[in-house]
Structures are given as C-alpha cells and as structure tokens.
Amino acid sequence: MNQFRLQKAQIIRQQGMQPYASSFDRTHTLMAARALNDEEKTVIAGRVVLLRDMGKMTFLALQDHTGRLQIAMKEEDIGKGKYKEMLHLLDLGDFIGIRGKRFTTQKGEPTVRASEWTMLSKALRQPPEKWHGIADQETAWRQRYLDTVSNRGSFDRFIFRSAFLKKLREFYWSHEFVEVETPVLVNAASGALAKPFTTHHEAYDLDVFLRIAPETFLKECLIGGFDRVFEVARVFRNEGLDPSHLQDFTMVEHYAAYWDYLENMKFTEKMLSSIIGEMLETTKTKIHDRNGKSVAVDFATPWPRMSIRQAIIGGCDIDIAKSNSRGALMEAMKKESIRLDVPTENLSMGNLIDQLYKKVCRPNFTSPVFITDHPIELSPLARRNDDNPDITDRFQLVVGGWEVVNAYSELIDPMDQARRFDEQDKANAGGDNEAHRKDDEFVTALEYGCPPCSGWGMGVDRIVALLTQQTNLRDVVLFPLMKPLAKTMSPFLSQKSEPNPTPNPNPNPPSSLPPQHLEYGHLLPAAHGLLSKHADKTRSHLIATGAAMEAFAKKFGGDTATWRIAGMLHDLDWDHLEKDMHEHCGKTLEQMLAEIKSPKELLEDIRSHYAEKYGAEHPLESMLRKCLYCVDELTGLIIAVTLVRPSKKIADVEVSSIKKKMKDKSFAAQVSREQIRKCEELLGVPLDEMIQLTLEAMKGVAREMGL
C-alpha cells in the first residue's frame, strides 16, 4: 500500500467527500461513448490507465470492460480549483466518473471533453508498470485481477471461456437436454478412477468425499424418468499437479437415454465442430502440441477412430491382446525399454495398459481422434462389449495430446455393476488409490431399472486451453488454487491482533519458513566476498543456485537475501576438496563460514542439501532447505545443457531442451534426476514450473556466470 495514496484518500474525506462511492449513473460504456457523434453528451466511468499533465490541460485514458477511451480535461472547463484538486488527488488505477461531450481530436482520436469529474474509488497500490501486462506468470495466477486489467489478451481469454459455455448450453437445449445440479459432497467417491478429497460433515459427524464426477447421480436422473440431462460441474481429484491436470476443475457431463456410445460419438463430432465453427468462424485453427509447438488442426468431421490396442501397437509395437497378463505386459515393456512415469507396483492390468498408452501414444495425437475399446478393468461403469467381454463400449476424444472427452455406453446391469465394484474395492484395498470405490446406493438405484443409455464427460479447462493456445490449464482458470505466500499483516489491523490459525489437513504440508528459522540476509555482501575468494570452477554453479534460491524465496515468502546466501555458499568448499564427497560440507566449509562470523543456522541449512551424510542431523524441515535440495542439481543440469549449445549462451536454452536432457541418462550422468523431481513431492511445484522458474532466474545472472 502506498502511503501517499492513503493520504490522498484521507484528504478527500476531510473535504467532506467520499473516496469510495456507492454507485455512479453512467449513460454509456467507453466503447459506446467512443461511437457517439461529436458534441453528443455522455456520462462515463472507468479506471485511469494513463495520465499526462500538460499544464492547463491533462489527457487521461480510461478503461472499462469494453476498451479504452481518451479524456481531455481543461482548467477552463473544470474550474481552476477543481482542476488543481484533480491533479493533486488523481493517480493511475483510480476509478473516476466523467461528464462531458464527445469530440474528435485533430489526429482523429475519439475523445470526451470533461466538464466534471468524480472520484469513485481511490487505488491505494501502484498498478502494473505502464499497464503493459503481468510478465511474471505466477503473479498472473495469484493476482488474476492485475493480469486481466493490464493484459487484454488474458481478459478476452476468459470472455471466450464464458461464451464457449453459453454456446455449449444452447446446443444442449436445442437437442432437448435438461440442465440439472447434483451434490458436491457425497458418501461414495464414484464416477471415475481417481483419488478423492475427503472432508468432515460436522452436523452428521460423518466423513464425506468431494465428488470425483457427477456420473452416478446423472444416471439416477435417467432412472427417475429424465430422458436427456447435462451438468456443468466443478469436480475434485486429489492427484498430481502438472500443466494438464488440476485438482479442482470444471467438466461437463451428459447422459442420453436409448443412445449407445456410437450415437454419442456422432453427437460429439456435431456439437464440438459446430460450436468451434461458430466461435472461430472456421473449423481450422492452431493449438499447442505437448511440446508447446503451435500446430494447425482441423475440427471438420468426421474424426478418425482407433482402438487402444491399435494405438499402442502403433506407438511401441506391443500387442496387449498377446501380452494379456500383467507379467507378460511388464516383460514386453522391459524388452522395449519402456519405463512408465508412475510406480507400477500397485497398478492393476487395466491401469498398466492405460499408463502405457499415455506414455507412448497419447502425446502424439494432435488432431482430433477417437480412441475406443478400453479394457473392462479400466472402465468400471462402462457397458461390456457384446462380442469381446474383455473390452467396453467406450471412446475418448484426444486433441493436442490431451484427453478432452471420455464417454461410453453405460453399464445398466446391476449384478455386473456390483461385481465390478467389488473388484475395484479389492484393488483399492491392495494399494491402487485410483481404483473405483464401492457405491452400494447406486447399485440399489440400478435394481429399479435404468434405460439403455450413453454418458459423456468433457474437461472444460482443457478444451478452452486448446482453443486459446494455452499450455497450462491454470491460464484458463480465473483464480487457480496456489500455495499461500508468507502471511503479511494489513496496515489497517492492530499490531497486537493475532490472526486465527487455519487448520491444515495435510500433516506434513510444504510450508513457508518456520518461525524459529534465523534470517542471515545481512551477510550478503560478506557472502559475495567469500565467493570471490574461494570459488573458481564452481563459481557459475554457485551464482546460479543463489539466483534460483532468491526466485523461490519470492515464491514462498522467504527472506530473499537469506535464501540467496544459502544457494551461493552451499558448495563453497568444493574447489578445495578435489571432489572428496566425504569431506564436503565438513571442517573446510565450517572454517570458511567462520571468516564472516556466520550463524550456525547457515552451516546447518547448507549441510541439509547433502542428505546422504547430514540428513538425519539436519533434515529437510524448512522450505529453504527443501528448495536448496532440489535446485542444487537442477542448476548443474541447466549449466551442462547450456555448454553443449552451439552458442554456449543460456539465453538460447528452453525448458523443453532441459526436459529432453533429463531423459538422457548418459548426459551429465552425475546429476541426480530423482533429486530434481523431488520438487513435486517436497515443494508441491510441478517439474515444468520448477525448471521454468530456475531457468529464468539463471538467465537474469547470465553475465555473472559467463553464460
């Protein structure tokens, strides 16, 4: 908060005025006023995004949801006293009201000549620099209001999302679907294969789940006599976070009586090609593939269809019909040198096939394609195929390497459903956290009779991200969930007041600095001296790690100088030890740090990153230590990647290059990939985000590193 702006708000009150109005009766939006004829009167309002004082005349630019409009304020029109008052009290970011007449400047710019102005809301913080948009991605996610007000592209992206949902609803209504709402808190976490969130219902003294999907309730609507239903639903899955997955997201599900999955496939083609064609005025557009490359696709129908068996054969030459047991499939993957991205110990055969498909096939599908014939074990709510009882009547729509739609002919046989729930329950008890839970209430509903039907679910975030060329789902969610930064007290609150602690259900959350952690940022100048004195071969690595640690301090609310010192000095002794890992972080480092009379906490923080030796004595108990542990190896890898570039310049290095080299175990073999990937477990930060943040920090000190 800016104290000078706060004083201006107080001055307005002292003058008997209100710096925060209750309302304002405008006659036009800014774009509507822009379209008026010269000399027409108007009353407009908006945020001040430009203010240029030219003596007895001031030009402003106001912005509202429709766009921007220039305002001319002259001393002769406003009155000398009110004009000076305006210059003294007005700042960028303030909301004001204007009364005046429309005219056109000599340069042809539509402008309103103000005769009166009114303060509507005094901004107490400085807006983004020059309103050119938020450059830092995390700030755009945390403070979306700054992103949308300063970046028209972001604002329009969310208008597109709203319009897409409107078109979607209209299409459903035109095809005789009824929109319904189903519960978010449920007794059984059913509807999809996923790990659920749990919470406690105080009134019932009952543990309940946040819904994974609304599927079973929507099918119960059909049992209850509805013919076609749909729901735009917020759903929750307690799984990993990455650019293509969020734990809480929006999906649309629909169910139609007397349809099968083939009819639903036709409906999907018709609906999406129609909506996309209307919104983009063409079925041809560009999307980003899984490598972040912009590629052309055409949503014109029909779309190709391929069984999951055919897809896997095409991706890795493994036939799941022949490798039809868990052991046989594992052996086939071993022969093909295929290593899945998830632990395989507790995966059922169906989930093993699914993970193999996701590894070798799905990322390669850019244009729309239907994947069919999924294993029965992978589809506990889907109808068994009449000709092949091992597969289901199911399809997925894949675009840009993302699963966008999942649909199937519904299982309406209550006996078969009960058996499959039992099998899934056993898999869950055996350690498969994504196995479907039992839902006895749903089985009871099926016993009353359900018409033949087909159901369908689509991730709204994913389709919108694809159509707006975004590579991270958080870019199409207005306010994505983020880890809180260190709490700061509002200046309006008494310094004696204590904030109420917020209970955290996670017993070991990645938190910010613990209260007892000593900050030693005052030693930063002395730390630079130590670096110059003792580091030669490792200098680039230490500078890089220091910069990265400072970036993560900003992310997690730590003291930036303290975190930078820990990064700068963590391998300070390395050049003196001739790569003797046993002596690393020992007496030599202790003597070096004694030169600047550093506190014991600095040595302890540094030793924590050498977990093999000091892990028990100095565990990774603070966010600083966790970040240092992960960043240490990553900066080393990034430097290695830079040095094999023809230019040897870090400016030419991209995230994709680093990820590619991570997969090449022979490259920089001494770098622990496992330690880098710990960022997701220890920090709750997706690998892509970890690499991006570290790389950008290192680019900021490229000259110091000599890269």
Q: How far apart are CA 379 and CA 85, in angstroms?
A: 69
Please give the pLDDT value at position 610: 86
- In whole angstroms, how far apart are CA 112 and each of 105, 131, 294, 633, 639? 10, 21, 42, 58, 55
CA-based torsion, 18, 21, 26, 29: positive or negative: positive
The pLDDT assigned to 499 comes to 38
Specify whether the CB–CB gap between 61 and 91 falls below 8 A.
Answer: no
* Count of helices and strands (H, E) across the chain: 27, 18
Contacts 24+ apart (CB under 8 A), 475-478: 475/140, 475/157, 476/157, 476/158, 476/161, 477/246, 477/249, 478/144, 478/158
Mean pLDDT of all residues belonging to the chain? 87
pLDDT at 518: 62
Report the alpha-carbon distance of residue 178 to residue 156 in Å, rounded: 29
pLDDT at 203: 94
Helix axes 687-699, 539-556, angle to 10 degrees: 120
pLDDT at 495: 35
User: 195-209, 425-439, 646-660: which range is least confident on average?
Assistant: 425-439
Average pLDDT over residues 659-681: 87
Return all residues near 296 (Cβ < 8 A) that are at least 6 apart: 284, 285, 286
Specify whether the CB–CB gap between 164 and 275 falls below 8 A. yes
At residue 165, φ and ψ (nearest 5 deg) are: -65, -35
pLDDT, mean of residues 80-96: 90
Chain-centroid distance of CA 553 in Å reads 20
Report the pLDDT averaged over residues 18-47.
Answer: 97
Sign, CA dihedral 237-241-243-248, equals positive
- Output the CA–CA distances (angstroms, integers) from residue 14 to 4, 87, 381, 416, in the order listed: 15, 17, 67, 76
**Please, what's the b/e burial string for 596-621 (b: 16 or more CB within 10 A of its CB; e: otherwise)?**
bebeebbbebbbbbbbeebeeebebe
pLDDT of 162 strictly over 70:
yes
Which DSSP helix (H) or strand (E) runs through 120? strand 110-121
Our CA dihedral for 446, 447, 453, 456, rounded to 10 degrees, sits at: 10
pLDDT-derived band at 502, boundaries 50, 70, 90 = very low
Please list, in sequence order, all residues whose beta carbon lies within 8 angstroms of the beta carbon of residue 191, skipping any fewer than 6 positions away.
211, 212, 213, 214, 215, 216, 381
pLDDT digit string (tens) for 456-484? 999 999 999 999 999 889 999 999 998 87
Residue 438 has what pLDDT? Answer: 62
The CA distances from residue 240 to 245, 247, 482, in Å, are: 7, 7, 14
- Distance from chain centroid for Cα 212: 19
What pLDDT score was predicted for residue 2?
Answer: 75
Max mean pLDDT among 97-106, 526-535, 548-557 falls in: 97-106
Q: Which CATH class is domain 156-304+367-476?
A: alpha beta
pLDDT digits (tens, 9 = 90+) for 344-396: 887 888 888 989 999 999 988 999 999 999 988 777 778 999 999 889 999 99
Q: What is the percentage of the chain residues whose pLDDT exceeds 90?
A: 53
Is residue 621 within 8 Å of 514, Cβ to Cβ? yes
The answer, yes or no, to whether residue 497 has pLDDT greater than 60, is no
Give the Cα separation of 45 and 26 in Å (integer).
7
pLDDT band at 129 (very low <50, low <70, confident <90, very high): low
Tokens 């009166």: give the residue: 116
Angle at 155 between CA 150 and CA 160, to 5 degrees: 165
List the beta bridge partners of residue 45.
97
Residue 649 pLDDT > 70, yes or no? yes
Q: Which fold has domain 3-127?
A: OB fold (Dihydrolipoamide Acetyltransferase, E2P) (2.40.50)
- Is the pLDDT at 613 greater than 50? The verdict is yes
Complete edge-to-edge strand list for the sheet that includes strand 369-372: 178-179, 228-236, 248-257, 453-459, 402-409, 394-399, 369-372, 305-307
SS3 670: coil
Are the beta carbons of 138 and 98 closer than 8 angstroms? Answer: no
Residue 123 has φ and ψ, to the nearest 5°, of -80, 130
The partner residues of 44 in beta bridges, in order of sequence, read 98
| Higher-confidence position of 489 and 216 | 216
Q: How confident is the model at residue 54 (pLDDT cuts 50, 70, 90)?
A: confident
pLDDT at 136: 67
Residue 488 binned pLDDT confidence (cut-offs 50, 70, 90): very low
Extended strands (E) in 470-510: none
Question: How many angstroms separate the first and last alpha carbons of the chain?
Answer: 38
Q: Give tens-digit pLDDT for 552-578.
A: 988 877 788 889 999 999 988 888 876
Element holding 257 (H helix, E strand): strand 248-257
Identify any residues that bridge with 454 across adjacent strands, giving them in sequence order: 256, 409
pLDDT tens-digit series, residues 293-308: 889 999 999 999 999 9
CB atoms within 10 A of CB 556: 23
Ordered by start, the domain boundaries in the chain are 3-127, 156-304+367-476, 521-705
Round to whole Å and give the CA distance between 527 and 280: 56
pLDDT in tens, 260-270: 999 999 999 99
Q: Which residue has the higher pLDDT, 614 or 249?
A: 249
Contact 470, 158 (CB under 8 A): no
Give me the pLDDT at residue 489, please: 39
The pLDDT-based confidence of 639 (bands split at 50, 70, 90) is very high
